[in-house]
Structure 1
Amino acid sequence: MDKLTKKVDRFDWTLTLILFLFFLVSCLGIYSAQTAGQYDENFLVKQTFWYVVGAAIISITILFDSIQYRRLSWYLYGFGLLLLIGVLAAPESIAPIRNGAKSWFITPLGSIQPSEFVKTFLILALSTVATQHQEKYLEKTFKRDFWLLLKLVITTFVPIIFIMKQNDLGTSLVLLSILVGFILVSGITWKIILPIFSTGASLAVFIIYLVVQRPDILEKYLHVQEYKFNRIYAWLDPFNHSSSSGYHLLKSLSAIGSGLITGKGFGNREVYIPEGHTDFIFSVIGEEYGFVGGSIVIGLFFLLIYHLIKTALDTNDPFNTYVCTGIISMLTFHVFQNVGMTIQVLPITGIPLPFISYGGSSLMGNMFAMGIVYSIRFHHRNYMFSSSRSLSS
């Protein structure tokens, strides 16, 4: 009985409550979005099913501790690469092309997108790289920091190459955000980080300038057709692209803007939003529940991020801290990008809102990440008063 009580106490009930609130918000948003009339499927029932599958994933994931995850990290990473290669190599009857991207497997349960799981596989691999480096090199030097940076970059860009081959820019950006998070917390000297980030930011600004002012240069020297920049054109000036690439953004702005402070109420939507149950579910919430509803949703994500930060600080295991850092980076970028694209702060990239947008692969991938957080919370107390025990023992 005492053992059962201790296990119950060690279970992360706070995270369970947060995920349950996300489930309720997701159900409300999807139910309202699917009533727009163009859908024949019941996405609410499907999303509930995927949440049940996600709960099962968590129940399995929590059984493994950080030692086992560290030992499994490279196997999972390799498995993820095989899945990415498999999508590219598979015939279209198994892996069809959708919206110009070849990123899904067709299964009896529905479409599965391997890259959603690769995100967490990458986090585990990067955590292993950073932890092993810190254990091997106790004394920091410029050369050793540069070597760590090189290992992190190579580990990240291998899956990015395959994901870009699938024509999936959004997921590639998520992996880059995970890499940035690791670089910032891995202890690499700012003498390396600052020049790299400054150069990257300058290059990004220069590319945007070329896209807007001189697309002919990109087309001539990099062989990039101008039509591929339509999303950036639509982002900067959606009104001149209202019938094409700017259509979704204008509908989103209209929906959120018409919601005002408190919204129009549940089911009282007036603006038709394509894909409102997936990438633009925040627009649906903004119209029905206004600024208040949108703020509550963003507040839930702040609560989740705070809980993950607290978990990272509570554990005395560097590997667990790195894992939490990667998950925080992944979720933060997802939320910032998804909400930002619905209000014209960022270009549209097709990144879903975690735990709320409809999507089995996205939800299962995020639940897998949450399962690791549950595991950290459940198992880390075994080592709380031990300063000598390491994951490699």
Structure 2
Amino acid sequence: MASHNRLSSRIDYRLIFILLLLFLVSCIAIYSAQSTGQYKENFLMKQVVAYIVGTGIIAGIITLDSDQLRKITWYGYGFGLLLLGFLIVAPSGLAPVINGAKSWYRVPGMGSLQPSEIVKVLIILALAKVIADHHEKNQLKTIQTDLFLLLKICLVTLAPTLLVLKQPDLGTTLVFFAIMVGMIFISGISMRILVPIFSFITLMIGVIFYLVLWQPDVLEKYLGVKQYQFGRVYSWIDPENYQSTTGFQLTKSLLAIGSGETVGKGYGNREVYLPESHTDFIFSVIAEEFGFIGSSIVISLFFILIYLLTKIGMEASNPYDTYICAGIMSMISFHVFQNIGMSIGLLPITGIPLPFISYGGSSVLGNMFAISLVFSIQYHNKKYMFASKNTIS
């Protein structure tokens, strides 16, 4: 009985419960979306299978402790770069171009696999190792050591970012950047370095925004940004004038969300046709059918999830685990903010899915891979605490 109690205390059942609720929300929303969508596939069944495989990933990763994860980090990171790099030269039969991007491998019997979803987590592991190793080797902090750490963090993120931009996939690139920024702020680098750097970045974003609106040819010529990506910005600012082209999804999304009002139209009673509602715009489906109340519940689930990630990270037995939790929290937070933000017109449309809810096997597997690391941290952290207790007694 004592052994069973120890095992139970090493697993965070609150986290399991939140994941279960998100899974149920995903199934309910996808089933409704696919019934009125433009496709005839059974997306719900594929989503369930992805969750089952993801559960297997959690069961496997939870057996690995921090030391084991650190040993295999660079192998995983290198493998991720290999997958992204091979996409560039892979034949169309293996890596087809979908919606203007070459981001997926066609896997026989499994559908498609988007390696960048897995690489997001591999970047978190690599950055966590870089930061932890740096602090272990440099006990005395100086401006020089902080700058060196910042350089290493940027280089680790840069390699996969360039490969993803080649696809091109701007949405995933933004996620990589969000992960990097989140981990930079928790890395211990002096704010005397970070404040001027991020002030400059903010200024550059403003300049790019100006160029997109008034001189798009400059970005297209020197940075290779595609014209359709400019259209997303234009339709975000003035969706009504682009509702027949690039602003179609946003105007329909706003109409669906607004028509849901307080309590929604009821399950399965959607009236607004919205393409890709089972993927990027799944939040619009929830808002139309369950209204402001249903949408608020979903957002609250994500707040609780992020709170649990923060709590587990703060209670971790070593800094490496804390860095991992911070990276995962940054990734999920950005996904949620960006997806819901684009659905309500607060942010431009970037094709970023809503974690654990939007349809997408690669997205589910990537998020479950990330959460499996959190389960591993919690599991082995509790084990360490009990071991210490027994040693003292």
Aligned length: 387
The alpha-carbon deviation at position 8 of structure 1 amounts to 2.3
**What is aligned with 2:91?**
91
What is the 5 A alignment of 1:250-269? 250-269=251-270
- In the TM superposition, what whole-angstrom CA distance separates every residue of 1:68-119 from its partner, at most 9, and x where no partner exists? 1111111110110111112222100000000111111111211001000001
**Aligned equivalents of 2:66, 2:375: Cα separation in 1:** 11
Where in structure 2 are the equivalents of 1:4-153 lying within 5 Å? 4-108=4-108, 109-153=110-154
Structure 1 residue matching 2:189: 3-state secondary structure: coil
**For residue 292 of structure 1, what is the aligned residue in structure 2?**
293
Structure 2 Cα separation of the partners of residues 294 and 149 of structure 1:
38
Secondary structure of the 2:141 match is coil
Q: Over aligned residues, Cα RMSD in angstroms?
A: 1.5
Instruction: Give me the whole-angstrom Cα distance separating, in 1, the residues matched to 2:387 and 2:179.
Output: 30
Q: Tell me, which stretches of 5 or more residues in structure 2 are unaligned?
A: 389-393
Deviation at 1:159, TM superposition (A): 0.5
- Provide the rounded CA distance (Å) in 1 between the counterparts of 2:374 and 2:116: 20
Q: Which residue of 2 aligns with 1:367?
A: 368
Q: Secondary structure at the match of 2:354?
A: coil
Q: Would the aligned equivalents of 2:107 and 2:113 in 1 still touch at CA under 8 Å? A: yes
Q: Which moved more, 1:173-182 or 1:218-227?
A: 218-227
**Contact map agreement 2:10 2:383 (CA 8 A) in 1:** no
- Tell me which residue corresponds to 1:391: none
Structure 1 residue 65, shift from structure 2 partner: 0.7
Report how far residue 215 of structure 1 moved.
Answer: 2.9
Give the distance between the partners of 1:2 and 1:90, measured in 2 at CA.
Answer: 54
Q: Structure 1 residues 342 and 360 mapped into 2: Cα distance closer, same or farther (>3 Å)?
A: same
* Cα shift readout 1:342-362 (whole Å, capped 9, x = no counterpart): 011100000000000000000
Does the C-alpha gap of structure 1 residues 227 and 2 become closer, same or farther in structure 2, counting only changes over 3 Å?
closer
Amino acid at match of 1:54: G
Moved over 2 A (4+): 1-5, 213-228, 381-387
Structure 1 329/223 Cα, relative in aligned 2: closer, same or farther at 3 Å?
Answer: closer
Structure 1 residues 37, 216: closer, same or farther in 2, change over 3 A? closer
CA deviations 1:163-201 (Å, max 9, x no partner) are 111101111110100000111011111111011110111
Once residues 296 and 71 of structure 1 are traced to their aligned partners in structure 2, the CA distance between those partners, rounded to angstroms, is 40
Counterpart Cα distance in 2 of 1:150 and 1:385: 39
Distance 2:21 2:232 in 1: 33
Q: Name the CA distance, whole Å, in 2 between partners of 1:87 and 1:27.
A: 31
Deviations 1:319-344 (A, max 9, x none): 00000000000000000000000011
Identify the residue that residue 325 of structure 1 maps to in structure 2: 326
Is 222-231 or 352-361 further displaced after alignment?
A: 222-231
Distance 1:37 1:191, change over 3 A: closer
Q: What's the CA shift string for 1:285-334, capped at 9, x where partnerless?
A: 01001111111111000000000000011112100000000000000000
When residues 220 and 120 of structure 1 are mapped into structure 2, their CA distance, relative to the original with a 3 A threshold, is closer
Partner of 2:233: 232
State the distance in 1 between where 2:158 and 2:259 align.
42
Q: Give the whole-Å Cα distance in 1 for the aligned partners of 2:226 and 2:169.
A: 17
Residue aligning to 2:391: none
Could you tell me how far 1:46 is from its partner in structure 2?
1.1
CA distance in 2, matches of 1:227, 1:15: 39
**Alpha-carbon deviation of 1:226?**
4.9
Q: Which moved more, 1:222-231 or 1:158-167?
A: 222-231
Relative distance call for 1:3 and 1:205 in structure 2 (3 A) is same
Q: Which amino acid aligns with 2:192?
A: K
Secondary structure in 1 aligned to 2:112?
Answer: strand
| Contact 1:181–1:326 (8 Å) recurs in 2 | yes
Task: Report the CA distance between 1:234 and its aligned residue.
Answer: 0.5
Contact 2:95 2:105 (C-alpha < 8 Å) held by counterparts: yes
Unaligned runs of 5+ in 1: 388-393
* Contact 2:264/2:292 (8 A) holds in 1: yes
Contact 1:61–1:375 (8 Å) recurs in 2? yes
In percent, how many aligned pairs have the same letter?
56
TM superposition score normalised by structure 2: 0.95
- Distance between the aligned counterparts of 1:380 and 1:197, measured in 2? 34
- TM-score normalised per structure 1: 0.95
Equivalent-residue separation in structure 1 for 2:68 and 2:168 (angstroms): 34
SS in structure 1 opposite 2:41? Answer: coil
Q: Partner residue of 1:166?
A: 167
Asked if 1:376 is matched to 2:377, the reply is: yes
What residue identity is the alignment partner of 1:353?
Answer: L
Measure the CA separation in 2 of the matches of 1:138 and 1:150: 18
> Using the alignment, how far apart are the partners of 1:222 and 1:44 within structure 2?
39
Which residue type is aligned with residue 160 of structure 2?
P
Partners of 2:285 and 2:192 lie apart in 1 by 45
Aligned partners of 2:37 and 2:274 also within 8 Å: no
1:5 Cα deviation (Å)?
3.1
Deviation at 1:213, TM superposition (A): 2.6
